[in-house]
């Protein structure tokens, strides 16, 4: 038995509860430790605020230790709580691995898989395609958490996470899904009414739509369109930027796989201005043997591969030449 397991056993022995009761309390402890509040933990566990508080109190009474500092801002771990967290996560990992191994032996693929992904990938690419997966496995349920923020697999916020970089944390299994390219787009109506865009310098004459810099690392983005161009309309959501662009609010750098679904969008200077980023898929190593998680991960990878060109090509749609557009306006 390793030292971590011995530590867990000692901590559990401090109480006068049965092992299953201790584990139940530990589930609530982990939820509060990861979310920082009773209400957020209750929402994560699908229960009531009072139920979470009761389990935390029972655990603290059983261990005769205070596990959290309570303040107006939430619950922070005490030193005893930090020590218990290590052991509790070890027990959780063992439980997940054991149930994954037991459920993978010829069983029907079922259960819920939660996927955390950037909103463009989750909403535009993945959501329209998951029906093929749920039709194939009627007992499988999919939850898509589409947001600009990163989801923590270590905190069990998701089973699969799609991100723009390889992980810095240990205990994650990752693979590179694909590179994808972003181009400057505008609505056809905007381009027909605005001044001509022939060179990169012309971009400065037009309003831009983009990310809030505090949320999105925009170094490559700024290098592509020009560091002196600051978006007039900013959002954390690629879909908000998309709809602002569709309304004719200005130019926007969008992923090709997002813009390709909207024929009214036209790429601008696509041979001169673009950014290449990557999508990576991450799974906690505790789930790598879980059949339902592996099935969903394999489906995502296959769909990305099958639609390879969608992530790279600007979906060029001819627009009248600058001279022709200005002639049309005079007419």
Instruction: For residue 247, give the CATH number of its domain.
Output: 3.40.190.10
Model confidence pLDDT, tens digit, residues 27-85: 888 888 888 888 888 888 888 888 988 898 988 888 888 998 888 888 888 888 888 88
Task: For the chain of 331 residues, list the mean pLDDT of each consecutive stretch of 10.
Answer: 42 42 78 86 85 89 88 86 80 63 62 90 93 91 85 79 72 82 93 89 90 62 70 89 94 92 90 88 78 88 88 66 45 41
Are the beta carbons of 249 and 207 closer than 8 angstroms?
yes
pTM as predicted: 0.65
- Cβ neighbors of 20 (< 8 A, separation 6 or more) are none
- Residue-wise pLDDT tens digits, 88-126: 776 766 666 555 555 545 567 888 898 999 989 999 999
Q: Check whether residue 7 and residue 63 sit in a common domain.
A: yes
Q: Determine the pLDDT at residue 317.
A: 56
pLDDT for 256 equals 92
Other C-beta atoms closer than 10 Å to the C-beta of 124 total: 22
Query: What pLDDT is stored for residue 247 in this prediction?
Result: 93
188 and 255 both lie in a single domain? yes
Do 149 and 226 have their domain in common?
Answer: no
Confidence (pLDDT) at 97: 58
Let me know whether 36 and 150 are in one domain: no
E strands in the chain: 68-71, 74-77, 111-117, 140-146, 160-163, 172-187, 208-211, 233-235, 251-255, 265-268, 274-284
Looking at the structure, do residues 99 and 239 belong to the same domain, yes or no? no
Query: 50 burial class (0-12, 13-18, 19+ CB within 10 angstroms)?
Result: exposed
Number of domains in the chain: 3
**Domain CATH code at residue 38:** 1.10.10.10
End residue of a domain, out of 64, 81, 103: 103
Q: Are residues 171 and 300 in the same domain?
A: yes
- Are 150 and 298 in a shared domain? yes
64 and 185 together in one domain: no
- Domain region containing 285: 111-178+278-307
From 103, 121, 155, the end of a domain falls on 103
pLDDT of residue 23: 73
Q: Are residues 282 and 323 in the same domain?
A: no
Residue 19 has a pLDDT of: 42
CA–CA distance, 122 with 95 (Å, rounded to integer): 29
Same domain for 217 and 167: no
Clarify whether residues 67 and 216 are in a common domain: no
* Residues 77, 146 within the same domain: no
How many other CB atoms are there within 10 angstroms of residue 269's CB atom?
Answer: 19
**114 bridge partner residues:** 143
């Amino acid at each position: 038995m390793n030292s971590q397991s011995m530590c867990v056993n000692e901590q559990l022995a401090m109480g006068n509860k049965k092992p299953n009761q201790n584990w139940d309390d530990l589930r609530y402890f982990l939820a509060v430790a990861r979310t920082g509040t009773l209400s957020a933990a209750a929402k994560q566990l699908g229960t009531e605020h009072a139920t979470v508080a009761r389990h935390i109190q029972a655990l603290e009474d059983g261990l005769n230790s205070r596990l959290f500092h309570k303040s107006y801002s939430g619950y922070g771990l005490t030193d005893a709580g930090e020590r218990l967290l290590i052991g509790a996560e070890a027990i959780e990992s063992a439980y997940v691995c054991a149930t994954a191994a037991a459920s993978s032996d010829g069983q029907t693929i079922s259960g819920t898989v939660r996927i955390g992904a950037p909103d463009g990938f989750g909403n535009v690419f993945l959501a329209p395609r998951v029906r093929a997966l749920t039709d194939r496995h009627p007992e499988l349920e999919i939850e898509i958490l589409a947001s600009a923020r990163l989801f923590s697999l270590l905190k069990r916020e998701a089973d699969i996470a799609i991100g723009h970089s390889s992980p810095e944390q240990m205990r994650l299994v990752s693979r590179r899904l694909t590179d994808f390219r972003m181009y400057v787009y505008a609505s056809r109506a905007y381009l027909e009414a605005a001044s001509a865009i022939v060179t990169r310098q012309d971009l400065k004459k037009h309003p831009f739509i983009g990310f809030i810099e505090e949320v999105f690392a925009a170094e490559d983005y700024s290098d592509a369109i020009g560091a002196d161009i600051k978006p007039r309309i900013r959002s954390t959501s690629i879909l908000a930027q998309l709809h602002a662009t569709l309304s004719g609010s200005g130019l926007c750098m969008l992923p090709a796989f997002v813009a390709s679904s909207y024929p009214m969008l036209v790429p601008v200077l696509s041979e001169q201005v673009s950014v290449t980023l990557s999508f990576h898929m991450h799974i906690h190593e505790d789930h790598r043997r879980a059949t339902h998680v592996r099935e969903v991960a394999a489906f995502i990878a296959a769909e990305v591969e099958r639609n390879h060109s969608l992530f790279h090509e600007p979906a060029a749609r001819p627009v009248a030449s600058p001279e022709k557009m200005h002639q049309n306006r005079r007419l």
